[in-house]
Structure 1
Amino acid sequence: MAEDKKTDDYTIEMDKMDQGNKNFEPPPPAPQARSPSGPSIANNPIFAVLSYCGSSILMTVMNKYVLSGSDFNLNFFLLCVQSIVCITAIRTCKAAGLINFRDFSPDEAKKWFPITLLLVGMIYTGSKALQFLSIPVYTIFKNLTIILIAYGEVLWFGGSVTGLTLFSFGLMVFSSIIAAWADIKHALESGTDATAKVSTLNAGYVWMLINCLCTASFSLGMRKRIKLTNFKDFDTMFYNNLLSIPVLIVLTFCVEDWSSANITLNFPPENRNSIFFAMVLSGLSTVFISYTSAWCVRVTTSTTYSMVGALNKLPIAISGFVFFDAPITFPSVSAIAVGFTSGIVYTIAKIKQNSKPKTGVLPTSNNPPVSASSQSMRDSLRS
């Protein structure tokens, strides 16, 4: 599934997990194999950051590859395959002693199930939006989720929004407007089937709006539930994927078309193996993202991790131009630049906000601020 398996308290919880045990560190090499000239790869911040960025790009590109076919309509099946692959991978890693997470508990599963339903809605609407929109536009519009989460925190958790944060929100909205205008302008100037292309874009924007609402609901709901269960990252991943499998199986067989003709349409013989490989790889990338995120937090700082998340927007958007021939125009490039800037401004605003008492903010709250910002959730929920 999408990187949606992390929480707002992610950076803090992963630090605690790492202090309690070394599940995220591979077994130390033999003394004679350790290079005396520098730190090992496991403790190298550059490798950690590059691995995190690479896993984020990998998931987005693989999902877009599967969904880019105009005839693909088995979205629930795609999500089900990703969940099964993820569960298989993390159980294998646990058996090998590489990671650790809680054993299944029916009582905890019952309490967590509503969160899983929100997750299914979030990932499904995200896959539909990505099916109709290009990766750059999808990435830019995903920023709007930050605004919803931030004000959800103000209402439900006593958070606050500073003037600089509001400025970053303005940049996010502005970049989304530019991106939509660039897409529609390109569709109208493309000549043939301009009306059909605009209708496709409109469908993508509607799915994107629903996805932003679902993402914010999932993020805030999961944050509240995690405070009660004290789940770590792999606990969250385990329950989210395991509980979503039966839901997705029911949905795919009840809602989607499993006729022989439609299966051939979705998986043409000439591309069938590559599509299945991309599905499996996108499921594995869920584990990669979680592992590399924890690795990045452990060997750097939460601030560095947040900045990496903001900077990572640029290569993800560029991947759409490189791998899927997204239209390269001055408005589209401008939208990416403004969206990229908004992410950096937002991260700086959160760093400043967390480094001093909350005074003179808009809007204000008398409640004490929460211990972790929504930046980690925004970063993790990128598709």
Structure 2
Amino acid sequence: MSDTSLVNSPAAAIGAYCISSIVMTLGNKFVLSGKNFNLNCVVLAVQSLSCLAVIHVLKALGFVSFRKYSNADAKKWFPIAALLVAMIYTASKAIQYLSVPVFTIFKNLTIILIAYGEVLWFGGVVTPMIFFSFMLIVLSSVVAAWSDVTASAGQSINWIGYLWMFSNCFSQAAFVLVLRKRIKVLGFKDMDTMFYNNLLSIPILLVVSVLFEDWSPENVLKNFPEENRFSVIMMMVITGLLSVGISYCSGWCVRVTSSTTYSMVGALNKLPIAVFGLLFFDPVITFMKVFSIVLGFSAGLVYSYAKIQQQKQKETTLPK
């Protein structure tokens, strides 16, 4: 396979996105776990800054190339960066108020929003089998969350958490759909997308941090204690280096596949992490937990088969 065919290969893009997403997720969990770190926007800004530094070094060495900064491109790309920050911020607020299973259930509903957004914007088609795969992946989350939902029966509903969750669903769908449309309009390549996403996200993240995060001396000291301040900063930089892979592979996957496929792959990425959690971190493995994972993988298989059949039908109806 030539370099050109590899860069335009949906299988290669999906595989690279899966690996980078899992590594990035596990890296963030390792960095923040048990450290009571609550300045999330600062972490994201450091990750973007580290990513920018890496790609500039790679460009200087001749390994990559991307277009020079221009105010015109920045103005056109700024809504993408704003939606990216909105997606990340609303997700962090939603998971602050809701349990992880409930968060996952509603997160997967974003796939359906994106699918029908593609119908409106890109002439996409949602076949009954594709819709069935959407229902399966949502059902897998429902099964995993069933015990938690029944355990919380009778308690008051946290409407603030659900408000943030719905905001996250719409902001994520908007980000993925507008990203794909803007890439086509501006002719951005993968490295161009990576450059502008990280560059424009930094000032937005810093403003959001100043406005909404706790910058009191006590909280700053808690986040950066003197005894391990250097290690905390270094781990933030390391996750920033890891973000290079996810930043590049996200744009690559959206470009060569579709917004819906990108979102579905992102949802399925939770499954390997769930398996690792069951094997190494969960002392109790129940039938319902395992069944939810099986349902999730089944959803991916059904979706893949449906897309293959859809592509075959499209090829047979094209004029010869």
TM-score band w.r.t. shorter chain: 0.7 to 0.9
Aligned counterparts of 2:170 and 2:112: Cα–Cα separation in 1: 10
TM norm structure 1? 0.67
Match status 1:226 vs 2:222: no
Query: Which is richer in helix?
Result: 2
| Alignment partner, residue 247 of structure 1 | 204
| Alignment partner, residue 273 of structure 2 | 316
C-alpha displacement of 1:213? 1.4
Aligned counterparts of 1:324 and 1:272: Cα–Cα separation in 2: 27
C-alpha displacement of 1:156? 2.1
Q: Which amino acid aligns with 2:301?
A: I
Cα contact 2:23–2:242 (8 A) shared by 1: yes
Match status 1:266 vs 2:223: yes
Cα contact 2:106–2:165 (8 A) shared by 1: yes
TM norm structure 2? 0.79
Q: How does 1:1-383 map to 2 (within 5 A)?
A: 18-19=3-4, 53-69=18-34, 71-129=36-94, 141-185=106-150, 206-269=163-226, 272-289=229-246, 312-321=269-278, 325=282, 328-357=285-314
Please state whether the residue corresponding to 1:356 is helix, strand or coil. Answer: helix
Cα contact 1:73–1:266 (8 A) shared by 2: yes
Cα RMSD, aligned residues only? 4.1
| Alignment partner, residue 371 of structure 1 | none
C-alpha displacement of 1:268? 4.2
Cα contact 2:115–2:126 (8 A) shared by 1: yes
Identity %: 55
C-alpha displacement of 1:130? 5.1
Cα contact 1:140–1:339 (8 A) shared by 2: no
Q: Which amino acid aligns with 1:227?
A: K
Aligned counterparts of 1:126 and 1:333: Cα–Cα separation in 2: 26
Cα contact 1:145–1:213 (8 A) shared by 2: yes
Which range is displaced more, 145-154 or 178-187?
178-187
Cα contact 1:140–1:336 (8 A) shared by 2: no
Deviations 1:337-377 (CA, angstroms, capped at 9, x unpaired): 22222122122212221222299xxxxxxxx9xxxxxxxxx
Cα contact 2:94–2:164 (8 A) shared by 1: yes
Cα contact 2:140–2:293 (8 A) shared by 1: yes
Cα contact 2:191–2:248 (8 A) shared by 1: no
Structure 2, unmatched stretches of 5+, are: none
C-alpha displacement of 1:251? 1.7
**Compared CA separation, residues 260 and 329, structure 1 to 2 (3 A):** farther
Structure 1, unmatched stretches of 5+, are: 1-14, 25-44, 189-193, 360-367, 369-383
Q: Which amino acid aligns with 1:355?
A: K
Deviations 1:110-160 (CA, angstroms, capped at 9, x unpaired): 111111111110122233445567777766654322211000111222211
